[in-house]
């Protein structure tokens, strides 16, 4: 896989996708929007890619949409711009595999949107999250953020547009872990290594449950979770994995 605005690095069981427009602070251009969709579409069908890390590197995650490009965009291209943006966001948001955002430095606007559609977030102590879109006269995406931090807090974040540091992000549930700048990628990779060992089918079903269960009443939620559990329980893979775990436990006891 070769890209102009991304660096894709395959590891053992997982893949690192790095935004690569350093001189533009990883601003999301038309080309990057297309490449983000293309790479995640490719990785979705890659059996060796069982977990994915999305990062911008140590100093900046993404400054958001490319303002210079947007400023020169003819009104007639507005629909195409929005469609291309929704295309890659929906692809990542609905991916069947776990996606980890490893955030170093700023994640603004469209960059912040990228963070909120990932499953897990590892933040460097230097990370700063912010939705400044109202200053430019348009709205930030509200739904993914509200699902993470709740409606009231999400309203505060998108309406005020104030920056959120790494420790505050951890406190409100926006980040799962915070690590020093020199360690946050190591933490993200260890997490990816752990996730890559899990059953891909079980992960797919779990991600589906995470999406639909919060919108159901409690009895219906319990019923559907039980049904999925029964489906996975009947698979040969479950038996093989249990044997493997028991075998490892026996080895430790010797």
**For the segment 138-182, what is each residue's pLDDT rounded down to a tens digit?**
788 899 999 999 999 999 999 999 999 999 999 999 999 999 999
How many whole angstroms separate alpha carbon 127 and alpha carbon 103? 6
Are 139 and 170 in a shared domain? Answer: yes
Instruction: Based on the fold, state whether residues 134 and 12 are members of the same structural domain.
Output: yes
In a domain, 35, yes or no: yes
Percent composition of the chain: helix, strand, coil (DSSP 3-state, to 5): 55, 15, 30
Among 174, 196, 218, identify where a domain stops.
196
Q: Are residues 181 and 218 in the same domain?
A: no
207 and 138 both lie in a single domain: no
For residues 58 and 104, is the Cβ–Cβ distance under 8 A? Answer: yes
* Same domain membership, residue 205 and residue 186: no
User: Is residue 220 situated within a structural domain?
Assistant: yes
Give Rg (Cα) of the chain: 19
In a domain, 1, yes or no: no
Q: What is the model's pLDDT at position 239?
A: 57
Please state, rounded to an integer, the average pLDDT across all residues of the chain: 88
| 61's tokens | 């995650």
89, 37 in Cβ contact below 8 A?
Answer: no
Using the predicted structure, report yes or no on whether residue 203 has a pLDDT greater than 60.
yes
Question: Which residue, of 181, 196, 211, is where some domain finishes?
Answer: 196
Greater model confidence, 220 or 92: 92
Structural domain for 41, as ranges: 6-196
pLDDT level of residue 247 (50, 70, 90 thresholds): low
pLDDT of residue 226: 77
Please indicate, yes or no, whether residues 221 and 115 belong to a single structural domain of this protein: no
Helix, strand, or coil (residue 215): helix
Q: Do both 44 and 116 map to the same domain?
A: yes
Lowest mean pLDDT among 16-25, 199-208, 217-226: 217-226
pLDDT interval class at 136 (50, 70, 90):
confident
Higher-confidence residue of 163 and 201: namely: 163
Q: Is the pLDDT of residue 214 over 60?
A: yes
Binned at pLDDT 50, 70 and 90, residue 208 comes out as confident
Q: Domain check: are 41 and 158 in the same one?
A: yes
Same domain, 125 and 231: no
Look at residue 234 in the predicted model and tell me its pLDDT.
Answer: 60
Decide the pairing of beta strands 51-55 and 14-19. Answer: parallel
> Could you tell me which of 149, 122, 19 has the C-alpha nearest to residue 131?
149
Distance between CA atoms of residues 240 and 245, nearest Å: 9
Rounded to 5°, the CA angle 26-144-28 comes to: 15
pLDDT of residue 227: 76
Residues in Cβ contact with 92 at an 8 Å cutoff, skipping those fewer than 6 apart: 36, 40, 54, 99, 114, 117, 118
- pLDDT digits over 225-244, tens only? 777 777 676 656 655 655 55
- Looking at the structure, tell me whether residues 171 and 106 fall in a common domain: yes
127 plus 165 within the same structural domain:
yes
Does 72 lie in the same domain as 40? yes
Count of domains in the chain? Answer: 2
Model's pTM, two decimal places? 0.86
pLDDT value at residue 56: 98
- 90: pLDDT confidence band, cut at 50, 70 and 90? very high
Q: How confident is the model at residue 22 (pLDDT cuts 50, 70, 90)?
A: very high
With respect to residue 123, please indicate whether it lies within any of the assigned structural domains: yes
Q: How confident is the model at residue 161, as a pLDDT?
A: 93
> Is residue 138 exposed (0-12), middle (13-18) or buried (19+ Cβ within 10 Å)?
exposed
Domain-located, residue 136? yes
Residue 32 CA to residue 35 CA, distance in Å, equals: 5
The reply to whether 78 falls in a domain is: yes
User: What integer pLDDT is reported at residue 82 of this predicted model?
Assistant: 83
Which residues is 124 bridged to in the sheet? 179
Boundary of a domain, candidates 196, 216, 244: 196
Instruction: Report the C-alpha gap between 182 and 89 in whole angstroms.
Output: 28
71 part of a folded domain: yes
Whether 97 is in a domain gets the answer: yes
Taking the CA atoms of residue 34, residue 117, residue 95 and residue 209 in that order, the dihedral angle to the nearest 10 degrees is -160
134 pLDDT above the threshold of 80: yes
CATH number (domain holding residue 148): 3.90.226.10
């Amino acid at each position: 896989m070769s890209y102009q605005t991304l660096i894709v690095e395959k590891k053992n069981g997982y893949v690192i996708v790095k935004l690569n427009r350093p001189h533009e602070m990883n601003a999301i251009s038309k080309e990057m929007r297309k490449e983000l969709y293309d790479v995640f579409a490719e990785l979705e069908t890659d059996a060796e890619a069982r977990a994915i890390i999305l990062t911008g590197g140590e100093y900046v995650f993404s400054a958001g949409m490319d303002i210079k490009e947007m400023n020169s965009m003819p009104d007639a291209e507005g629909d195409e711009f929005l469609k291309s943006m929704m295309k890659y966001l929906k692809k990542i948001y609905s991916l069947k595999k776990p996606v980890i955002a490893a955030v170093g430095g700023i994640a603004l606007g469209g960059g912040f949107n990228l963070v909120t559609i990932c499953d897990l977030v590892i933040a460097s102590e230097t990370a700063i999250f912010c939705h400044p879109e109202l200053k430019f006269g348009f709205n930030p995406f509200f739904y993914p953020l509200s699902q993470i931090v709740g409606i009231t807090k999400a309203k505060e974040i998108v309406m005020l547009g104030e920056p959120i540091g790494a420790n505050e992000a951890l406190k409100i549930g926006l980040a799962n872990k915070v690590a020093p700048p020199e360690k946050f990628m190591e933490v993200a990779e260890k997490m990816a290594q752990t996730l890559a060992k899990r059953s891909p089918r079980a992960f797919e079903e779990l991600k589906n449950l995470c999406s639909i269960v919060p919108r159901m009443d409690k009895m219906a939620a319990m019923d559907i979770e039980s049904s999925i559990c029964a489906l996975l329980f009947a698979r040969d893979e479950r038996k093989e994995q249990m044997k493997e775990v028991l075998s490892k436990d026996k080895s430790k006891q010797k």
